[in-house]
Structure 1
Amino acid sequence: MPSIPFPAAPQGPVPAGASGAAGPATGRPPLISVVVPCFDEEAVLERTHRRLTTVLGALPDCAHEVVYVDDGSRDGTWRTLTSLSGGDPAVRLVRLTRNFGHQQAILAGLRAATGDAVITMDADLQDPPELIPELVERWRAGWSVVSARRTSRAGESRFKVVTAHVYYRLLAALADQPVALDTGDFRLLDRAVVRLLTELPEGEPYLRGSVCWAGFPEVSVGYERLPRPAGRSKYSLRKMAELSRRGLVSCSPVPARMPAVVGVAWLGGAAMTAAVRRHRLPLAAWTFGCEAVLLGLLGEYLRLVHRELRGRPPYVLLERHPPQPDEPAAPAEAAGEAVLPLPVARTRAAR
């Protein structure tokens, strides 16, 4: 598998006045990109842009751009966005042919963003732009991923709050990699992380899981999620269920292994019942148990095929000891390794 080259990301303490990898190297202030996916958000967009530009304009020693992605809106969202771009040269627009979904829209924005750090957030102002300076400050301190963790969810139904709480903990328990709790898509990503996410050949991206899978140094910042100031949520129960399914399938092997677990449990329970009652084990119990085990084994093979079709590298190399210059065909790269030339100074505290 060909290697994926990644630029350096800021690691460890950064001197005052400096920032991300591109800023000091080129003698220019770092560029902060904000990616905002939009779907029928005409009612709130002008307010969102006003607050965003106020916050971004006050960032010290930083340039900024805002990338709005119109995910097939049916209202006047695109008209509003074109009006905003006409009055602000920092605005960039991406328009999708139809509503592909929230994760796909964020991915389109990440591919269009050019910043040294990229912040993804929703357009409905439930993710407060006023948190951005703290995200940028943590990035300048050396963190590659700065996630905004929801400490409360004002304005949302009890059903949504409870199901979200249960889902995140269920996903964390079942996933085969660490998963950030109570964290959506409001986060800052270093350019190296963005490069990795945009290079992954996945048709159904689950970016939250992909960020956790990559294993970059991550820290979280707590915030209170606010009620929507206008409009209504576009995340229906069906869309929430679809996102949950995608997360479980993407991050956890458990769904593929459930038939085998059920089959073994069924056979064990039937055998114990037959032994206690001193009866022969019914043929139907044997048949169902064996079929379930075979389906579980088939699921394991399908999971391996699924992982191969994703095209992900087997791991991301954070550093070399001693550091080596970039080579077009290094031995490690020939083995299908994604080489990430980051500085050595990554401490356990930054994990």
Structure 2
Amino acid sequence: MKSVAIVIPSHNEEENVPLIHAALVETFAKLPEYRLLTWFINDGSTDGTLAAIKKVQQEDGDVHFIDMSRSFGKEAGMYAGLSTAKADLYAVMDADLQDPPTMIPDMLAGIEDGYDMVGAARTDRTGEPPIRSFFSNMFYKVMNKISDTPIIPGARDFRIMTQQVVDAVLAMSETNRFSKGIFGWVGFKTKYLPYTNVERQHGQTSWNFGSLLQYSIDGIVDFSDAPLKFVSWLGIISFIAAFIALIFIVVRAAIYGDPTAGWPSMVSIFLMIGGIQLFAVGILGRYIGRIFLEVKNRPIFIAKEIK
């Protein structure tokens, strides 16, 4: 019997904890050759999530949990679970049942067929606001053009991995984690199973447009130096344009004279150049900020209780 450790980051998922556990137990009841080990990661929940996890644990000895000292985020929660659990195979999924447990048998079949990692990819975004879907699709297109790390459009963190893949993921111990990029960067033989979007069961998602935008920026900065190249070319183009404009102004003044002061145009040029410089400094600041956080070498998570 092979053991499968399923890591479930949970932030304010009080109502969903017993539901996801029941769904997993039902799924694995049809897989007698596998043993289910459930690892809930309580990521600084402010509701009764921890109590719900402990109640489920009392009913099932194969349920474990990590109670974080505060909220470190989903990325840190996944790292905490994968680095703590011990099993033959490992899985990551959300607690809100948007990752269908019914896909697990097909995922395990993919592992048995020789794949090192089998993930899930949404084929649509039914139920999401149109503006959010638009920007999500744009992110995948941009990311795959500017980065050498492939990211499958619609790919979820929901996946099953072998020990070798997990070891490679854990070896990437950076503080600023973008798991979709990390899963793509480590390589290995990977397969994605398509599925239609499933809406959240209970509660409100902690991901709003602002946090998703920040997450997208983190992904671009962590896995591409394209923004730095962009501002470099922007600076070169601005210099060439300013030089050509300077020649034009000198030639025009020599031929026609300069009867009127040109302070409005000069102010506009100064503001434009200043804006470009601030934009470039802002991008550099993002990268320097990443370096600043990494060299501190702080732990990715702190566990208050592991049981």
Match of 2:37 in 1: 65
Aligned-pair CA distance for 1:238: 2.9
Deviation at 1:160, TM superposition (A): 1.8
Secondary structure of the 2:124 match is: strand
Q: Which ranges in structure 2 are unaligned for 5 or more consecutive residues?
A: 253-267, 296-307
Q: What secondary structure does 1:225 align onto? A: coil
User: Is 1:122 equivalent to 2:73 in the alignment?
Assistant: no
TM-fit CA distance, 1:32: 1.2
Go from structure 1 to structure 2 and tell me whether the alpha carbon gap of 1:34 and 1:258 turns closer, same or farther (over 3 Å shift).
same
1:236 aligns with 2:208: yes
Please say if residues 267 and 289 of structure 1, whose CA atoms lie closer than 8 Å, have aligned partners that are also in contact.
no
Mapping 1:324-335, distance limit 5 Å: none
**For the residues of structure 2 that align with 1:251 and 1:226, how far apart are their CA atoms?**
29
Deviations 1:210-237 (A, max 9, x none): 1111121111110112111221211123
Deviation for aligned residue 1:310? 6.0
1:225: which partner in 2?
Answer: 197
Q: Which residue of 2 aligns with 1:246?
A: 218
Post-superposition offset of 1:279: 4.2
User: Which structure has the larger Rg?
Assistant: 2
Using the TM superposition, give the Cα deviation of residue 273 of structure 1 relative to its aligned residue in structure 2, in angstroms: 4.4
Q: Which moved more, 1:79-88 or 1:144-153?
A: 144-153
Instruction: Work out the CA distance in 2 between the residues paired with 1:184 and 1:165.
Output: 13
Provide Cα deviations, 1:307-337, integer angstroms capped at 9, x if missing partner.
Answer: 89969xxxxxxxxxxxxxxxxxxxxxxxxxx
Counterpart check, 1:38 vs 2:13: no
Q: Using the TM superposition, give the Cα deviation of residue 88 of structure 1 relative to its aligned residue in structure 2, in angstroms.
A: 0.6
> 2:178 corresponds to which letter in structure 1?
Y
- Match for residue 48 of structure 1 among 9, 20, 27: 20
Corresponding position of 2:103: 131
User: In 2, distance between residues paired with 1:80 and 1:117?
Assistant: 25
Of 113, 120, 128, which aligns to 1:148? 120
Matches within 5 A, 1:191-210: 191-210=163-182
Query: Tell me, what secondary structure is at the counterpart of 1:152?
Result: coil
Q: Which amino acid aligns with 1:64?
A: L
**In 2: Cα distance, 1:234 partner to 1:188 partner:** 24
Q: TM-score, normalised by structure 1?
A: 0.71
More helix by share: 2
8 Å CA contact 1:260, 1:292 repeated in 2: no
Runs of 4+ in 1 over 4 A off after TM superposition: 272-280, 288-293, 302-311
> Per the alignment, in what secondary structure is the counterpart of residue 255 of structure 1?
helix
Provide the secondary structure at the position in 2 that maps to 1:153.
coil
Distance in 1 (CA, whole Å) between partners of 2:48 and 2:171 is 32
Counterpart contact for 1:263–1:289, Cα < 8 Å: no
After TM superposition, give the deviation of residue 257 of structure 1 in Å.
2.6
Q: Is the Cα contact below 8 Å between 2:44 and 2:71 reproduced in 1?
A: yes
Quick check: 2:121–2:156 contact (8 Å CA) kept in 1?
yes
Q: Once superposed, what is the RMSD of the aligned Cα atoms?
A: 3.2
Aligned CA distance change for structure 1 residues 303 and 204 (closer, same or farther; 3 Å): closer
Instruction: Please name the residue that 1:213 is paired with.
Output: 185
Is the 2:175–2:293 contact (alpha carbons within 8 Å) kept by the matching residues of 1? no
What CA deviation, in whole Å up to 9, does each residue of 1:102-152 have, x standing for no partner?
111111111122122211110001111101111111111111121211111
Q: Find the aligned partners of 2:54 and 2:88 in 1 and give their Cα distance.
A: 25
Which residue type is aligned with residue 40 of structure 1? N
Residue by residue, what CA displacement relative to the aligned partner does 1:32-71 show, whole Å, maximum 9, x if unpaired? 1111110001122211111111112222421221111000
Q: Which amino acid aligns with 2:114?
A: G
* Residue in 2 that maps onto 1:85: 57
Structure 1 equivalent of residue 161 of structure 2: 189
Distance, in Å, in 1 between the alignment partners of 2:97 and 2:37 is 18
In structure 2, the CA distance between the partners of 1:231 and 1:289, relative to structure 1 (3 Å rule), is closer
| C-alpha separation in 1, matches of 2:273 and 2:126 | 47
Shift, 1:172, TM fit: 1.2
Give how far 1:154 is off. Answer: 2.6
Letter in 1 for 2:47: D
Can you list the C-alpha shifts for 1:2-53, whole angstroms capped at 9, x where unaligned? xxxxxxxxxxxxxxxxxxxxxxxxxxx2211111110001122211111111
The separation in 2 between residues aligned to 1:100 and 1:291, in whole angstroms, is: 34
Distance 1:229 1:289, change over 3 A: closer
Asked whether the 8 Å contact 2:176–2:222 carries over to 1, the reply is no
Matched residue count: 281
Ranges in structure 1 where 5+ consecutive residues have no aligned partner: 1-28, 312-351
